[in-house]
């Protein structure tokens, strides 16, 4: 592969890693805030509730990101198809315009002789 593509892919992976870690940390903070509102929990209960809360939040985030990724792939395919058709139309119209201009120029040349 090209070094530029390797760098771009590495940066994208690093960004994904950092974003995911931030999501997990946010889930931890939310779990702590939740258990802080339940002062009657024992330490073991608090840890269990936090663990379950984090697991559920991370699973929901993963599911959401998977749906977003799938939809992004669908949209990419759709818009790529549209772009290919639009490009073909533009080329056809341009070729037609050049052909029409050539015919008109030839006709004018023959008429004006």
- So where are the chain's domains? 3-83
Per-residue burial over 8-31, b = 16 or more CB atoms within 10 Å of its CB, e = otherwise = eeeeeeeeeeeeeeebeeebeeeb
Distance CA(40)–CA(34), nearest Å, equals 12
Which of 25, 70, 18 is closest to 50 using CA atoms?
25
Mean pLDDT (the chain, rounded): 94
Residue 23 has pLDDT above 70, yes or no: yes
Query: How would residue 74 be classed by pLDDT, with cut points 50, 70 and 90?
Result: very high
């Amino acid at each position: 592969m090209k070094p530029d593509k390797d760098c771009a892919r590495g940066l994208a992976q690093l960004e994904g890693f950092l974003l995911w870690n931030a999501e997990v940390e946010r889930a931890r903070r939310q779990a702590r805030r939740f258990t802080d509102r339940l002062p009657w929990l024992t330490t073991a209960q608090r840890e269990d509730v936090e663990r379950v809360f984090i697991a559920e939040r991370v699973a929901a985030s993963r599911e959401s990101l998977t749906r977003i990724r799938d939809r992004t792939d669908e949209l990419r395919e759709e818009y790529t198809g549209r772009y290919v058709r639009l490009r073909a139309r533009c080329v056809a119209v341009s070729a037609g315009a050049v052909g029409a201009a050539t015919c008109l120029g030839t006709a004018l040349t023959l008429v004006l002789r």
